[in-house]
Structure 1
Amino acid sequence: MWGKLFGGGKKEITVSKKTEDHTNQTINKMQETQEMLEKRQKLLQKKMQMEEDKAKEFLLKKDKKSALAAIKRKKTYEAQYNRLQQQISNVEQMSMNVENAVTDMETLKTQQLAANTLKQVFKETGGIDKVEDVLDEVRDAMDVANDLGRALSQNIGGGEMIDEDDIEAELSMLEMENDDAQMLGMDSSVKIPKGAPTGGVKLPTAKSPAKKVRSEEEDDLAALEAELNG
């Protein structure tokens, strides 16, 4: 398509200086002609109005013959006016065609310039093959970047992963122990009537040994933390 339109890229669309000057002169001449025709139209329009006014005056004077002659002259001017109107329309159409031809030529020259520029750009960049090679390099670089990101996000601390199921199981055990402790506390608060048989079961004393053991463990833990913190 481009080859046929622009001569295979070997010939540029050009217009000689002589043709450009002649075109401009033609456009100016047609504008001058149109202005002259419009002026003649205005003159004929005035003459038509004058003859119509005369015809009215003659009718007032009962001069029918002179009134008919005035109307006849008006019709003659009117025919000339209509002929000039057609000529003006023809000149306007021809002027528009010439101006459109100039515009089309300038547009065509611009399109040729753009096509030649694109060809030069594609030639210097290596064409579609070079573009595909660059895109392949971009994709490879993105793959490497993604792999690097995944590698850097891995756990390198050597610590063991915490199992969420184990956490839930331990929490359940602690809840059960707390429930059992609360039940024992409730049993120790029950009063047994004096002299009632205990069945050989030793009742808990007021001070629980378990509390003393927990206090010792807490003291040991506090001493260890103080030692570690220096």
Structure 2
Amino acid sequence: MGNSGSSHKISAQDKAILDMKNQRDRLHQYQKRITVITDREKAIAKECLLRGDEKKAKLALRRKKYQESLLAKTDATIAQLEILTSDVEFALVQRDVLFGLQQGTAVLKEIHKEMGGIENVEKLLGESEEARAYQEEISEMLADKMTNQDEDEVEDELEALEAEVSGIKFPSAPETRIELSEEDRAQLRKDRAQRRARERAEEESAQAIPA
């Protein structure tokens, strides 16, 4: 009888549940730490707007949005895993669970990269050569990571922050979007996407010109 406990084998379902709980614990730790960073990024965006530097303000908000989307993506994945691992027909969904755990681990690694510390966040505000190089690196990275919906939400937040900085009281971004017709919203998204494409093309063209 004394050996019965030690000889007990952990099932695939038990291991999946344990891995999922570990991911959840890591996510909660990251959520607390990244909130400090995203709060500072918003403050930097506001400070940049006060200086009249909309480009840096938008970059700070884009990075903030990217970090928040990583956390949301991982949270959603783990929530789905909780459902799958509690399924009585675990064997039928085991492959989906393992794939979900792999995805969760990959996203958590991305979040870990964003934990570079507040000193990196301060570089978004800097004017030194090192800071500018870092800003360009972040901008290029975000170009491949952000969806058009993410970019639109950043634009809305930027407009709201600009209104706050200027002291003008406008309706909040969500209320403004509700008042627009679906056709107007679609056109606004299209115009923004085209403008972003032009800005990226101009940046790439400028970088291609030899110094």
Same structural fold, with TM-score higher than 0.5 when normalized by the shorter chain: no
TM-score by length of 2: 0.33
State the structure with bigger RCO (CA 8 A, min sep 6), 1 or 2: 2
TM-score by length of 1: 0.31
